[in-house]
């Protein structure tokens, strides 16, 4: 692979004495050589802790037959370690300047099984990404941009059913939401969405000092293993999530008063009928309703006549 344009050419001059890539010195030197600075708007905080880097890679359990999708490759710190263990890596980077630096770092590190894709992970098609379009099972390993965590997780889990396992770095507050159970103050629509699709586990917290520049929040490493089947049994998925979104869309309201809101739009009579048939107390609020209870309610809603909808 070759560097793309003047950014890569300038950076190449400083690589020999830049220091390890997974270090603040190494990150600073490479960015300075290319005339770049971290973009706060893009959530650019570069991991500079070798121990945490190794832990993330080991958690993914990569073998020589695994294919990996990395979101937010940055300068390639994680990319290189993934490529040394996996059959192939698709490394996606939104920042064109960083994407231009990646080929040089990969070549210098002696890895040749990486395809760098410059673009927005939320806008790139499966054909442009190659790996999901081919229908092969794959893993996701990424230090996610914190301002886009929820939509990226939605695409990973809902759009790519062949994704088997994801190991992601997220904001600690978000990590708590991903694993929270009903009744917890952290429990919400994102909790239900993730737990419907995968078994989520917080593996470790990560202090701001592990990054440069230091973020204002603590981070956490989360592992998500996709369920072979949803844990709630057979339920129409579209209806299930319409019920969940309606319930949490007005989470301070009692659930009997929230089912009439978007995107469900049940009439008052239909809401009371559905709650009665599902055995749910209509005075409860969404944050107390478990996945299983949402599934029971969704099955009842699926059976309602169109006349019950506004």
Q: Which two tokens stand for residue 274?
A: 């559905």
Q: Tens of pLDDT along the chain (310 residues)? A: 334 454 444 445 444 446 789 999 999 999 999 999 999 888 899 999 999 999 999 999 999 999 999 999 999 999 999 999 999 999 999 999 999 999 999 999 999 999 999 999 999 998 898 887 778 899 999 999 999 999 999 999 999 999 999 999 999 999 999 999 999 999 999 999 999 999 999 999 999 999 999 999 999 999 999 999 999 999 999 999 999 999 999 878 899 999 998 899 899 999 999 999 999 999 999 999 999 999 999 999 999 966 544 4
**Signed CA dihedral, 236, 238, 241, 247: sign only:** negative
Q: Please list the residues that pair with 220 across neighbouring strands.
A: 170, 205
pLDDT of res. 136: 87
**Signed CA dihedral, 261, 266, 270, 273: sign only:** negative
- Cβ-contact 73, 116 below 8 angstroms: yes
Q: How far is CA 221 from CA 149, 161, 215, in A?
A: 13, 22, 15
**Alpha-carbon gap, residue 20 to 24, rounded angstroms:** 9
Q: Which residues, other chains included, contact 28 with Cβ-Cβ below 8 Å and sequence gap of 6+?
A: 212
- Cβ-contact 203, 141 below 8 angstroms: no
**Alpha-carbon gap, residue 23 to 112, rounded angstroms:** 23
């Amino acid at each position: 692979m070759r560097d793309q344009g003047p950014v890569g050419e300038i950076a190449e001059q400083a690589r020999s004495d830049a220091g390890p890539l997974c270090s603040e010195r190494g990150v600073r030197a490479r960015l300075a050589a290319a005339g770049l600075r971290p973009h706060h708007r893009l959530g650019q905080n570069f991991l500079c802790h070798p121990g945490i880097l190794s832990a993330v890679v080991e958690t993914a359990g990569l073998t020589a037959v695994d294919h990996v999708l990395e979101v937010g490759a940055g300068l390639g710190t994680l990319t290189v370690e993934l490529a040394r263990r996996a059959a192939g890596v698709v490394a996606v980077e939104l920042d064109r300047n960083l994407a231009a630096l990646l080929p040089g770092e990969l070549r210098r590190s002696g890895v040749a099984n990486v395809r760098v894709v410059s673009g927005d992970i939320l806008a790139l098609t499966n054909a442009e990404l190659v790996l999901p379009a081919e229908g092969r099972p794959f893993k996701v390993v990424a230090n996610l941009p914190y301002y886009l965590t929820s939509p990226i997780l939605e695409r990973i889990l809902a759009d790519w059913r062949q994704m088997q396992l994801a190991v992601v770095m997220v904001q600690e507050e978000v990590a708590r939401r991903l694993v929270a159970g009903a009744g917890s103050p952290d429990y919400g629509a994102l909790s239900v969405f993730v737990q419907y699709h995968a078994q989520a586990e917080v593996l470790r917290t990560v202090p701001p000092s592990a990054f440069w520049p230091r973020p204002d929040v603590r981070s956490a490493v989360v592992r998500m293993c996709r369920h072979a089947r949803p844990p709630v049994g057979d339920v129409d998925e579209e209806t299930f999530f319409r019920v969940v979104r309606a319930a949490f869309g007005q989470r301070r309201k009692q659930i009997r008063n929230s089912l009439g809101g978007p995107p469900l739009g049940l009439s008052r009579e239909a809401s009371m009928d559905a709650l009665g048939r599902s055995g749910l107390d209509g005075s409860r609020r969404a944050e107390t309703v478990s996945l299983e209870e949402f599934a029971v309610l969704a099955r009842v809603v699926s059976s309602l006549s169109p006349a019950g909808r506004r």
